Every structure is written in structure tokens, then in C-alpha cells.
Structure 1
Amino acid sequence: MTIHPEIAKILSTLPAPDGSPLDPEAMRAGEAAQVPPAEQREPLHAVVDVTAVTPTGEIPVRIYTPTGAETHGLLVYFHGGAFFLGSLDTHDHVARALAKETGHKVISVGYRLAPEAAFPAGLDDCYAVVRWAAAQGENLGWDGANLAIAGDSSGGNFVAAVAAKAHDDGFSRITHQVLFYPSLDLDFDADRYASLRENAEGYGLETEGLAPFNAFYLDGGADPADPLVSPIKRQDLAGLPPALVITAEHDPLRDEGELYGLRLAEAGVDATVSRYKGSNHGFVQNFSWIPEFYRVFEETGEFLNAKAGLDGGTAQ
């Protein structure tokens, strides 16, 4: 299927990459300028900013409560941005939609970014907030059932890495993992996956841009051979939480996400892979206003709220 026409319109207005060095501060300012004012955002029962006090440090989080119910499931969300972009504000609309469509209380994590904070600072922050959420369950109004984690792009990388760290630490409270077009292999050899060549140019995220965009993270000590940096390199995936892996048809990272879902299933993990046709990398953040792509939030809700799903591995 060709790229969705509404996405194609936006892509046609983007300037071609000119090879100039990336400027994190300027790019963050550009993102911040696109954040809509509060009165234009999806209304929820409550949205509050708090500080999670953890062994890693004090971490800003934003908590989205969808309804006035006394208790909810918890969903800890890690925003994307190639490890150096993104914030609580740039992904506020994603967290709101997740809360609305899943019925879960969403805890969005303002983790430390590269290059100012070297690996594993951001990953440690994400893991620490998951542990904090479990420990603060009563104060957060947790119903004691689901404690899910979700993230897009580099946030999806953190989801996989946090799930692995929790498993290895014997922390078994994570019930689900949701990965939106995750970046799971930071070895960017274009011959590793067919999608790196098939979707190399013209769809927003370009294969040649992967190395420079991720350089801020890698130059800070993140080794692509480390399974906590490239989670697809983890040998044993058995025992990880049930997974929903969302991929985009026209995304250089498509095939690594789908391979990860397949490997999870082969390891006995209940894993569903769902490819969104006509979409590109970043569609959850950038194009969820298109009805067929907003469906991703509804699918996430169905996954989190399904009672079954722990009795075998399937990839579809």
C-alpha cells in the first residue's frame, strides 16, 4: 500500500536533508514550539505533574487519570525522540489518548536525555519510575492488576530494555509491554533488514539519518552490541511480559520490530505484531488524528484489557 495521502502531503513540504550537524537545543526548541496550548488538548478527569523520588534521583512524571473511578490499571509511558528529543509536552497528546482509550492511569516519564546525560541515565530513569509506580500503587490508585509499559521509537527501545532488566532482577510486576515502531537494533548496517533499504528515503525517517540521530546516545557510551542498547540482541527472551508490537509499513525500522515480535513468540511469550499499512515512522505521535491511525490507541486498550493472553506465544 502506498503512503497515506495525508502523510504524503506533509512529507512533500519537508526540506531535503542537507547533511548539516544536528543541533539538539534548536531541535528541541522547534518541537516545543509545536506543542498546542493546554485548552486545545484532550480533556481527562485529571492531569498532574509530580516528582518521582527514586534511587536514581528525582524524575519528573506527568500522571493522566482518565475517569473518576477510585482505581485504575497503570501504564508507564516512555516517549520517543532518538534518545535526545521529546518531552512530557511533545508527547502529551499521545499519553492523553492512551489514557482515554485504555482506561489506565498513564504515567509519562520525563527521563534524562542524551547528550547531556550519558547512557544508561535515561534507561535507568524509566526503570526507576516503573519500580516507583509499583511501590506507590496505593497512593496512585492502582487497582493491583495491570502494570504495563509502553513507548514509541526510542521509547520502545526502553520498553524492551526495561522489561529485560525487570526480568533479570526478579521484578515480576510488569504485566504487558507495548512497543510502537520500536528502535531495537542500533547497528544501522543497511543490509541487516530489508526495510532499511525498502524504506530508505522519502518517508520522513531515512536510513542514512539513523546513525547521526542516534549518535548522541551512542557517543555517550551506549554500545550497540549491548542487549540493553539493542534489545533485539538479547539471546533469551523467555519469561518476558506479553507484548504488542506496532509497526509502520513505510518505516526503515519495521523489520526489526517484527522480528522481535516473532522471536518473543518463539520464546513462548504471548506476542502480537500489528503492522499499520500506509503509515510511516512516528505516525502515533504525528498522524494519530487520521482515524485509521488513531486505531492504534484502541488496539492498545484491547490488548491491555483482554483477560486471556498468558498461555502461549503467537505472532500475527
Structure 2
Amino acid sequence: MTLHPKIAEVVRNLPAPPDGPLDPVAMRAAEEAEVAPLEDRLPLHSVEDVAASTPAGEVPVRVYTPTEADSHGLLVYFHGGAFFLGSLNTHDHVARSLANETGLKVVSVDYRRAPESAYPAGIQDCYAVVRWAAENGESLAWDGTTLAIAGDSSGGTFVAAVAAMAHGYGFDRITHQILYYPSLDLDFDPDRYPSLRENAEGYGLETDTLKPFNAFYIDSGADPADPLVSPIKRANLTGLPPALIVTAEHDPLRDEGELYGQKLKKAGVAATVSRYAGAGHGFVQHFSWIPEYHQVFTETAAFLGTEPG
């Protein structure tokens, strides 16, 4: 299937990348300027900004409660953005949709980003918030059942890393992991997966931009050979929570996500790989207003075995 026509129209009108080095401050400001005003966002029972007190420090989080109820299951969400972009605001609509469609209380993590914070600050924040959520179940009105983790793109990288960290530390409360078009191999060899050539250009995210966009993270100390940085390199994947891996047909990162799903299955992990036809990288963040792509939230709810309250 060709790129969805509504996505293709947007891609055709994307501005050319700026000359010279990437400017994180300017790029973040441009992202924030695109955030919908509060009155135009999906309404929920409550949305609250709080600070999670963790061993990694005070981590800002945004808690989305979908409905009025005595308790809810929990989903901890890690936004994407190549480890230096993205925020609670730029992915607010994703977190709202996750809460609304799954019926779970969503805790979105404002983790530390490169280049200001060196590796592994972001992963440490994400793992610490998952532990905080489990340990503060009473104040969060957690029902003690579902404790899922989810993330898109680089947030999906953190999902895989946090799931592995939790297993390594003997923390077994995570019930599900959800990875939307994850970046799982930061090697940057353009021949390492066929999709890097097949979807190299013309679909939004381009193969040639992967190295410069991830350079802030790599230069901060993230070694692509480290399985916490490139989770697909982890030798032993046994014992991890069930996984839903969502990929996009026209994404350079498609094949590494699907290979990771195969590796999980071979390790005895219940893993579902779901490829969205006609989509490119970032469709959950940018194109979930298209009905066939909004379906990703319904699929997530079905995977979790939940439904709106």
C-alpha cells in the first residue's frame, strides 16, 4: 500500500531541514507552538501535574484519570522525540487518547532529555517513575492489577530498556509493554535492515537523518552496543512482560521493531507485532486523527484486556 494520501500531503509540504547543526531549543519551541489549546483537547475526568519523588530525584509527571471511579489500572507512558525532543505537552493528546480508550489512569513522564542531561538520565527517570507508581498505588488509586508501560519511537526504546531493567532488578509488577514504532538499534548502519533502504526517503522520517537526530543522545554517553541503548542487542529476552509492538509500513525503523518481536517470541515472551499499512513513522503522534490510525488505541486496549470505564 502506498503512503496514506492525507499523510502524503503533509509530507509533501514539510519544510526542508535547516542548514547546519540541529538547534534543540529552536526545534522544541517549534514543537510546542503546534500544541492544541487546552479547550480543544479531549476532555477527561481529571488531568493533574505532579512531582514523583524517586531515587532519581523529583520527576515531573502528568496524571490522566479517564473516568470517576474508586480505582483504575495504570499505564506509564514515555513520549518520543529522538531523546531530545517531545514533552508532556507535545504528546498530551496521545496520553489522553490512551486513557480514554483503555480506561486506565495514564502517568506521562517528563524525563530528562539530551543534550542537557547525559545518558542514562532519561532511562533512570522512566524506571524510577514506574517504581514510584507501583509504590504509591494508594495515592494514585491503583487497583493493583494492570501496570503497563508504553512509548512511541525513542519512548519505545525506553519501554524495552525499562522492561529489561525491571526484570534484572527482580521488579515483576509490570504486566504489559507497548512499543509504538520503536527505535531499537542505534547502530546507524543503513544496511542493517531492509526497511532502512526501502523507506529511506519520502515518508517523513528519513534514514539519513537518523544519525544526526540521535547524535545528542549518543554523544551524551549512550553506547549503541549497550542493550539498554539498543535493546535488540540484548542476548537474553526471557522473562519479560507480554509485548505489543506496533510498526508502520513506510518507516525506516519498521524491520528492527518486527525483528524484536520475533526475538521476544523465540524467548518465550507473548508478543504481538502489528504493522499499520500506509503509515509512516510517528503516525500515533501526528496522524491518530485519521480513523484507521486512531484504531491503534483500540488495539492497545484489546491487548491490555481493558475498556473505557
User: Does the pair score TM above 0.5?
Assistant: yes
In structure 2, how many angstroms separate the alpha carbons of the residues matched to 1:188 and 1:262?
21
Partner of 1:44: 44
In structure 1, how many angstroms separate the alpha carbons of the residues matched to 2:168 and 2:60?
26
Give the letter for the 1:123 counterpart: I
Matched position secondary structure for 2:179: strand
Partner of 2:174: 174
Per-residue CA deviations over 1:236-276 (Å, capped at 9, x if unaligned) read: 00000000000000000000000000100110000000000
Partner of 2:200: 200
In structure 1, how many angstroms separate the alpha carbons of the residues matched to 2:242 and 2:99?
19
In structure 1, how many angstroms separate the alpha carbons of the residues matched to 2:179 and 2:117?
23
In structure 1, how many angstroms separate the alpha carbons of the residues matched to 2:154 and 2:46?
27
Q: How does 1:58-207 map to 2 (within 5 A)?
A: 58-207=58-207
CA shift for structure 1 position 18: 5.3
Give the letter for the 1:191 counterpart: D
Per-residue CA deviations over 1:213-251 (Å, capped at 9, x if unaligned) read: 000000000000000000000000000000000000000
User: What number of residue pairs does the alignment pair up?
Assistant: 307
In structure 2, how many angstroms separate the alpha carbons of the residues matched to 1:143 and 1:54?
21
Partner of 1:235: 235
In structure 1, how many angstroms separate the alpha carbons of the residues matched to 2:13 and 2:207?
19
In structure 2, how many angstroms separate the alpha carbons of the residues matched to 1:17 and 1:94?
25
Partner of 1:314: none
CA shift for structure 1 position 14: 1.1
Partner of 1:25: 25
CA shift for structure 1 position 21: 1.2
CA shift for structure 1 position 17: 3.5
In structure 2, how many angstroms separate the alpha carbons of the residues matched to 1:88 and 1:17?
24
Q: In the alignment, does 2:268 pair up with 1:280?
A: no
Matched position secondary structure for 1:278: coil
Q: What is the alpha-carbon root mean square deviation over aligned residues? A: 1.0
Matched position secondary structure for 1:138: helix
In structure 2, how many angstroms separate the alpha carbons of the residues matched to 1:62 and 1:41?
15
Give the letter for the 1:17 counterpart: P
Structure 2's unaligned 5+ residue stretches are none
Partner of 1:309: none
Structure 1's unaligned 5+ residue stretches are 307-316
CA shift for structure 1 position 174: 0.3
Partner of 1:55: 55
Q: How does 1:255-266 map to 2 (within 5 A)?
A: 255-266=255-266
Per-residue CA deviations over 1:142-198 (Å, capped at 9, x if unaligned) read: 110010000000000000000000000000000000000000000010110000000
Give the letter for the 2:88 counterpart: L
In structure 2, how many angstroms separate the alpha carbons of the residues matched to 1:113 and 1:92?
17
In structure 2, how many angstroms separate the alpha carbons of the residues matched to 1:121 and 1:18?
28
In structure 1, how many angstroms separate the alpha carbons of the residues matched to 2:126 and 2:173?
15
Give the letter for the 2:221 counterpart: G
Partner of 1:223: 223
Structure-2-length-normalised TM-score: 0.98
In structure 2, how many angstroms separate the alpha carbons of the residues matched to 1:182 and 1:246?
8
Matched position secondary structure for 2:276: strand
Give the letter for the 2:186 counterpart: L
Q: In the alignment, does 2:267 pair up with 1:267?
A: yes
In structure 1, how many angstroms separate the alpha carbons of the residues matched to 2:158 and 2:19?
28
Alignment identity in percent? 74
Structure-1-length-normalised TM-score: 0.96
